[in-house]
Chain A
Amino acid sequence: MDLKQKQELLKLLRAELKDGFLGEEPSGENRLWAEVKREALVRAAELLLQAGGRYQVGIGYDARKSGKGFALIHSFAFDRDGLIAAIRAFAPAEDPEFDSLTPIIPGAGWSEREYQDLLGLRFKNLSNGKRLVLSDDWPEGIYPLRADIPYDLMPPSAEEVAFRLEQAPPGTTVIPFGPFHASLHEPAHFSVFVDGENIKGCEYRGFMVHRGIEKLAQTELTYNDIPFLAERICGICGSVHSVNYAQAVEAASGLKISRRAEFIRVVLLELERLHSHLLWLGVAGHLIGYDTVFMQAWRIREKIMWLAESLTGNRKTYGMVIIGGVRRDITSDQAENIKRVLGEVEKEMLQLEKAIIKDKTIQRRMRGVGYLSREEAIRWNLVGPVARARGLALDSRKDHPYAAYDELVFDVPVVEDGDVWGTMVVRIKEVYEAIRIIRQCLDKMPADRPLALELEGPIPPGKQGLSVVEAPRGEAVHYVLTGDGQQPERWRVRAPTYPNLQAVPAMLLDNKLADFPIIVGSIDPCISCTDRVLVVELRSNSKRLLKKEELESISRKMRPGK
């Protein structure tokens, strides 16, 4: 949190952009909210990139109510200085056009395509202008994130509409992985182009589990209802999203929660990391055909689920986080129980690790598979264990400390392997680090109160807050713009799988088809985290029973080989 860096950046922006730079919104020392003119947005992004920033996410919202048109924010993280800089530009409502960042930052493509679909913004020089988020039979001209569109709009659905996928390069056939496939947890479509057993390319079509979470939060729910919704964004990293949202609102409104509440949040987050990594270990074993590793890893994980149930009341949706703190305390009995369970888990994990780390057959399936070099990892803005396996020392707990992490001592494992085996080693080491962190928390937790702050007045509208949390899969970013009516005006969730998925086609090139599941599995895809914004599209309420021959003929017509 170097104040100097923030001042230097401001000086740089002012000098280079001249009258393109409109001002800065005052905030804490580790956030920079700069306002620029629409035409200067790309130049500002370029400057921040050259100054060492890492692109995080693009955020757009409908600001027509206040007369400003449409807003677009791009946020950059400066990891060595613990600073996050966000540049915002407005476009008038009658001409919502921006310049695309994709020529300099290819990873910005998804954010821009998302707002193209959801807000109706237009981007010049956007490299891939296809629909990202909305389904293909959604009517044109209806942009769900705009304030005048209701959250439960149900336009008439259509059959016989398909996403226009890329043509397979000559000499290859298309193998469709998805939307239903045994190796994917959630629906997603990977159209893999193979030549025999070698993968020559891949195209991804996702956002099939789009549930309308951000819109729901902006219209129907109030500040304290949203952590319960955020928890259900993902079935594995639930408290990550609820803590992240709570931190963003607390940052926006300037609330300072008690130290004990921060420690309890850290315990919940690390417990979640433990169970998530054990889950991943099992799934990775299953994807290479090794079911014994799957069963044993999940057997160890079950102990953590029981621990969470006795601590929070539920195995997975902890429901412990609200704005201002946490809902339950950790008593000394519970602390003893936690230590006992952690001891057992550590012992069994050591046993499991010794059994699989030197196994030549597992190494033959995972070494050299899904190789991506360090430069490519930087180019695609990878985060999380996927990046740490390629030599990038990125961890939001160290770079942008939040909750109680500034007081805790732990290591961040980084390896240079660059393949799927590296991600496995990183995740196994993180399990031990997580156990170490929880033990420290239980010892260092202060006894101050209150666990949940009583707010004196309503949260003021118009304030921005951005928070990052290290999810088990990487860095998750939440942005909140407070609004009136005790609701956020805009809440943007960027899960860590968002940038990681964009790198999967690069990881798949020149690997064998049999390695497809383990490569996709190595980024630990949490596709429910990745697609959240906007309205669920329900079919119309009419029902009709299809006869057997009709069903047969429809399914035969829809066959991908045709």
Chain B
Amino acid sequence: MWLWTKIKQLTLFRKAGRVTLKYPFEPRPAPEGFRGQPLWDHTKCLGCAGCANHCPARTIFLRDLCQELRVLLYDSSRCTYCGRCADLCPEKAITMSDKYELATDNREDITQTIELFMMTCQRCGRCYDMEIKNYLDRLQTLGYRYDSLQVRKVIRLSTAEFQPEWLEKTSTYSRPERLEK
């Protein structure tokens, strides 16, 4: 009985053989419907900031550079490849490609930037109501530090409402000692 189970265990590998894939020496394409890196089509993009507003990882940014130029920046550092941007785009300008080999030591390789020339409003001459509707400006009013396109580190100053004096009032403001055994 014992011997029989051992033989059965030994032969588990008979039908399956060796399952190790030869990747990376052989390519391994992703299946259809795979959610890889999102790709923007600049000919279709409107600059509506729908993708930027709904990205759960807050990794898509939109900014008005000047009166006629709006920049969309997909800073892929936090992208989770969820595909919400592709679902929501009204012009279907975003496709989830099947690219998954995205490791790199240079961020520029996976960043996408679109510069859109905007029409001006015939009445007031500006792009449009950007101070309120523009996602990035909304971020700035809450304290995101994103001064220039070169500075990619977006650090939210949520501690703007927190008073550091509160820390001093706590009983363990100085570095705690090792608790005695």
The reply to whether B178 and A140 form a contact with Cβ atoms under 8 Å apart is no
Q: A141-B170, A141-B171, A351-B12 are in contact. Are A313 and B5 (CB under 8 A)?
A: no
Which B residues are CB-close (under 8 A) to A554?
none
Which B residues are CB-close (under 8 A) to A90?
none
C-alpha gap A352/B14 in the complex (Å): 12
The reply to whether A139 and B167 form a contact with Cβ atoms under 8 Å apart is yes
Which B residues are CB-close (under 8 A) to A309?
30-31, 34
The reply to whether A228 and B82 form a contact with Cβ atoms under 8 Å apart is yes
Any A CB within 8 A of the CB of B44: no
Give the one of B33, B56, B179 with max A CB within 10 A: B56
Flag A518-542 by CB within 8 Å of B: 1 or 0 each.
0000000000000000000000000
Which B residues are CB-close (under 8 A) to A219?
158
Instruction: Select the stretch in A262-270, A355-363, A375-383 that faces chain B.
Output: A355-363
The reply to whether A313 and B35 form a contact with Cβ atoms under 8 Å apart is yes
Flag B66-78 by CB within 8 Å of A: 1 or 0 each.
0000000000000
Determine the residue in chain A with the shortest Cβ distance to B19: A299
Any A CB within 8 A of the CB of B1: yes
Which B residues are CB-close (under 8 A) to A140?
170-172
Distance from A105 Cβ to chain B, minimum over Cβ atoms (Å):
29
The reply to whether A354 and B169 form a contact with Cβ atoms under 8 Å apart is no
Flag B143-167 by CB within 8 Å of A: 1 or 0 each.
0000000000000101101100011
The reply to whether B166 and A313 form a contact with Cβ atoms under 8 Å apart is no
Determine the residue in chain A with the shortest Cβ distance to B156: A152
Q: A150-B162, A356-B9 are in contact. Are A156 and B175 (CB under 8 A)?
A: yes
- B1, B8, B161: the one within 8 Å of A355 (CB): B8
Q: Using a CB-CB cutoff of 8 Å, which residues 120-169 of chain A contact chain B?
A: 136-137, 139-142, 148-153, 155-156, 158-164, 167
Q: Using a CB-CB cutoff of 8 Å, which residues 64-110 of chain B contact chain A?
A: 80-84, 87, 96
The reply to whether A158 and B176 form a contact with Cβ atoms under 8 Å apart is yes
The reply to whether A161 and B178 form a contact with Cβ atoms under 8 Å apart is yes
The reply to whether B176 and A161 form a contact with Cβ atoms under 8 Å apart is yes
C-alpha gap A299/B15 in the complex (Å): 12
Any B CB within 8 A of the CB of A292: yes
Any B CB within 8 A of the CB of A317: yes
Which B residues are CB-close (under 8 A) to A206?
none
Any A CB within 8 A of the CB of B25: no
Distance from B28 Cβ to chain A, minimum over Cβ atoms (Å):
11
Distance from A348 Cβ to chain B, minimum over Cβ atoms (Å):
8
C-alpha gap A159/B179 in the complex (Å): 11
Which B residues are CB-close (under 8 A) to A505?
none
Which A residues are CB-close (under 8 A) to B5?
355-356, 358-360
Which B residues are CB-close (under 8 A) to A156?
175
C-alpha gap A153/B18 in the complex (Å): 50
Any B CB within 8 A of the CB of A180: no
Flag A278-320 by CB within 8 Å of B: 1 or 0 each.
0000000000000011001001001000100111111001010
Distance from A98 Cβ to chain B, minimum over Cβ atoms (Å):
22
The reply to whether A162 and B178 form a contact with Cβ atoms under 8 Å apart is yes
Determine the residue in chain A with the shortest Cβ distance to B173: A139
C-alpha gap A351/B84 in the complex (Å): 41
Q: A141-B169, A141-B171, A225-B56 are in contact. Are A136 and B82 (CB under 8 A)?
A: no
Which A residues are CB-close (under 8 A) to B30?
309
Q: A140-B171, A150-B161 are in contact. Are A161 and B177 (CB under 8 A)?
A: yes
- B33, B84, B159, B161: the one within 8 Å of A313 (CB): B33
Any A CB within 8 A of the CB of B23: no
C-alpha gap A466/B1 in the complex (Å): 51
Determine the residue in chain B with the shortest Cβ distance to A226: B56
Q: How many cross-chain pairs have Cβ atoms below 8 Å apart between A and B?
A: 119
Distance from B93 Cβ to chain A, minimum over Cβ atoms (Å):
18
C-alpha gap A167/B180 in the complex (Å): 12
Q: A142-B170, A354-B8 are in contact. Are A299 and B179 (CB under 8 A)?
A: no
Flag B21-62 by CB within 8 Å of A: 1 or 0 each.
000000000111111000000000000000000101100000
Distance from A67 Cβ to chain B, minimum over Cβ atoms (Å):
20
Distance from B132 Cβ to chain A, minimum over Cβ atoms (Å):
16
C-alpha gap A466/B67 in the complex (Å): 49
Distance from B13 Cβ to chain A, minimum over Cβ atoms (Å):
7
Any B CB within 8 A of the CB of A229: yes
Give the one of B16, B82, B167, B170 with max A CB within 10 A: B82
The reply to whether B56 and A139 form a contact with Cβ atoms under 8 Å apart is no
C-alpha gap A163/B169 in the complex (Å): 23
The reply to whether B96 and A313 form a contact with Cβ atoms under 8 Å apart is yes
Determine the residue in chain B with the shortest Cβ distance to A315: B34
Which B residues are CB-close (under 8 A) to A361?
2
Any A CB within 8 A of the CB of B123: no
- B9, B13, B167, B176: the one within 8 Å of A136 (CB): B176
Distance from B86 Cβ to chain A, minimum over Cβ atoms (Å):
10
- B34, B159, B179: the one within 8 Å of A162 (CB): B179
Which B residues are CB-close (under 8 A) to A7?
none
Give the one of B1, B87, B158, B171 with max A CB within 10 A: B158
The reply to whether A150 and B32 form a contact with Cβ atoms under 8 Å apart is no
Determine the residue in chain B with the shortest Cβ distance to A290: B9
C-alpha gap A310/B156 in the complex (Å): 37
- A224, A296, A314, A317: the one within 8 Å of B13 (CB): A296
Any B CB within 8 A of the CB of A339: no
C-alpha gap A141/B80 in the complex (Å): 35
The reply to whether B162 and A149 form a contact with Cβ atoms under 8 Å apart is yes
The reply to whether B9 and A355 form a contact with Cβ atoms under 8 Å apart is yes
Which A residues are CB-close (under 8 A) to B84?
224, 228
C-alpha gap A359/B7 in the complex (Å): 11
C-alpha gap A352/B9 in the complex (Å): 8
Determine the residue in chain A with the shortest Cβ distance to B168: A139
- A302, A327, A355: the one within 8 Å of B87 (CB): A327
Question: What are the 4 A-B residue pairs with the smallest beta carbon separation, nearest first?
Answer: A313-B35, A141-B170, A225-B56, A150-B158
Residues of A within 8 A of B (CB): 136-137, 139-142, 148-153, 155-156, 158-164, 167, 219, 221, 224-225, 228-229, 232, 292-293, 296, 299, 302, 306, 309-314, 317, 319, 327-328, 351-352, 354-356, 358-361
Residues of B within 8 A of A (CB): 1-2, 5-6, 8-9, 12-13, 16, 19, 30-35, 54, 56-57, 80-84, 87, 96, 156, 158-159, 161-162, 166-167, 169-173, 175-181
A-B contact pairs, 15 of them (CB 8 A): A139-B167, A141-B166, A142-B170, A149-B162, A152-B158, A164-B180, A292-B9, A296-B13, A317-B80, A328-B33, A351-B12, A355-B5, A355-B12, A359-B6, A360-B2
Known: A139-B173, A319-B83; 9 extra A-B contacts, CB below 8 A, are A139-B171, A149-B162, A160-B177, A161-B179, A299-B19, A309-B31, A310-B31, A319-B35, A361-B2
